[in-house]
Amino acid sequence: MKRIIWIVLLVLGVGGTATWAGPLRARSSPRGQAPHATPVQEYRTYCFGWGADQNQPDNRPLVWVLDGAGDLKGCSTALAQANVLCGEPIVLAPFPWSHGYRKLLKDQIDTLHARQQGFRLAQAIQQRKALEPGRRVVVVGHSAGCAIALAAGDVLPPDTVDRFILLAPSVSTGYDLRRTIHSAKEGLDVYCSKKDWVALGFVIRVVGTTDNPTSRTAAGRHGFQPTGPTALNAWEAARFRQHFWSPEVAWTGHAGGHHGMFAPAFIQTYLMPLMTGS
C-alpha cells in the first residue's frame, strides 16, 4: 500500500512540472523563534532576467515560494516562466524545505518537519525584511508547501508580510488561520478546487493532510472552514478570501486539477495582480 501511495504521489508531482502553453489573453478578474539560525539565501536559479547592475536596489515585490512535496519545483518553475512573460514585475525566492528530491510521501506526512521549516521561513523573512524594510513581501505556497507557509504565518509578528497566497493547500479544513491572517497586511487568499479529487481527495484519504495525519479533508478541495474555537471575527474575515475553481476560469488552461493554477494565463490574470499589489 505504501508503494502504491508513493507512486500516485510521484505521478502527481511529476505532472506538476508541466505548464500549459496556450496563448495569453487579457481578461478582467471577475509568533515564535526558530531553534537554529539559518543563513538567508535567495535562490536565483529560478529567477530569469536579472539586471546586470546588482549594486542598484531592486524594489520589485519579493515573492517567497514554497513548492509542493518532493522538491519537484513545479510551482516555482511555473511562476518563473509566467514572470518572464509578464516582463518580470516580481523577484522570486524559492525556499527549500523538502526532505529531498521525489521524497513526496515523507514531505506529506512529516508534520513536525513542516513546522520546523515554517520556523526557518519566518526567520528568513524577518532577516530579509530588516535589510529591505520598505519592500513588498508576498508568500506563495502550493499543496504541502502551504503547511510551511502557514507555520511561518503562525509565528510572524503582525503585518510582517503583505499577503499570503495558498494554492491547493493539502492542509486540513480546520487549520487555525487567525495568526497567519494577522501577520499579513492584506490578508490571505486561498485557491481551491472541488475537482481536485485525486491529489486532495484519494491521496489525502489515505495519508492525511500535511498538518494533521488524522484529517481526511483538505482545504485545497473543500476550502478552509474556520468554525468553533478557530472562527474568525469580522476584522479577520475581511482579510480572508477563498477562490473556488469555476468553469469561468477554464479559458486560462486551469481545468480544476491540482496543478491547473500553474497555467501561465491563470497566473498572469489572477495571481500576478495579488503578488504585485496592482
pLDDT of the chain along its 278 residues, tens only? 555 555 455 544 444 443 333 433 333 344 444 444 444 444 343 444 444 455 778 999 999 999 999 999 999 999 999 999 999 999 999 999 999 999 999 999 999 999 999 999 999 999 999 999 999 999 999 999 999 999 999 999 999 999 999 999 999 999 999 999 999 999 999 999 999 999 999 999 999 999 999 999 999 999 999 999 999 999 999 999 999 999 999 999 999 999 999 999 999 999 999 999 99
State the pTM of this model. Answer: 0.84
Q: Where are the alpha helices (DSSP H) in 132-173?
A: 145-155
| Rg over CA atoms, the chain | 17
For domain 2-17+57-276, give the CATH number. 3.40.50.1820
φ/ψ of residue 220, rounded to 5:
-65, -15
Q: What pLDDT sits at residue 57? A: 86
Residue 173 makes CB contacts below 8 A (sequence gap 6+) with 215, 217, 218, 219, 222, 223, 224, 225
Q: What pLDDT sits at residue 56? A: 79
Q: Which residue type, as a one-letter code, is found at position 50?
A: W
Q: Are 137 and 64 in contact (CB under 8 A)?
A: yes
